[in-house]
Amino acid sequence: MISSLHGTVLHSSSDQVVIEVGGVGFSVAVPGDVAHTATVGERLLLHTSLIVREDALSLYGFEDRSELEVFGLLISVTGVGPKSALGVLSHLTVDQIAEAVTAEDDAPFRRVSGIGPKTAKLIVLQLAGKVHPVGIAAKPATTGASTVVDQVAAALVGLGWSEKVAAEAAAQTAAEASDAERASVAPLLRRTLALLGPARV
């Protein structure tokens, strides 16, 4: 079992990276945010899952071990294959998945390509009690600031970023911003857009 890879990025596309380890290039399917930030020539550590099929051996990789664990839970759900599970983790953070399951809300899963209403309900039912929020970036302490962060994340989703990328970028920017920038949506949104660069739908 290949449980992790740490090597140099040789190539990246919208949902895949090739990592050279010991002179061998491994093709790894990854969430969109990982593919977006992977830079050719730089080193990258991925926690991986090797999926064995009759006609293929496929590697799926994640920067955070909690994502790998949720990936394993997702593919255990009836009707959810590795590609669909990767799609969920490309659009939702572990926290967002845990919150949706806890709230018995299948709507976030239905918005993922390849996940139908029946499968979305099965994800909520079968993951109940198995996933828990882990926390991403530090968030502002006040309720008002948190509301601003949520509004910025929602605006980013409207501009074409996934919920996962939007939430992480908004939280990261808010943690680094001044009190004045965190006080309203416009300055925080401008700062977050500068961090993200051009939208990748």
Domain 4-62 fold is OB fold (Dihydrolipoamide Acetyltransferase, E2P) (2.40.50)
Strand-strand pairing, 16-21 and 56-62: unpaired
Same fold, 4-62 and 65-127: no
Residue 12 confidence (pLDDT): 93
Residues of the chain below pLDDT 70: 134-146, 182, 198-201
Report the length, in residues, of the chain: 201
Q: Where are the domains of the chain?
A: 4-62, 65-127, 143-196
Residue 26, classed as helix, strand or coil, is strand
Residue 37 confidence (pLDDT): 87
Q: What pTM was computed for the model?
A: 0.68
CA angle 66, 71, 44 (to 5 degrees): 60
65-127 carries CATH number 1.10.600.10: no
Residue 117 confidence (pLDDT): 93
Residue 201 confidence (pLDDT): 42
Residue 138 confidence (pLDDT): 37
Residue 109 confidence (pLDDT): 95
**What Å distances lie between residue 149 and 72, 108, 175, 191, CA to CA?**
30, 19, 10, 12
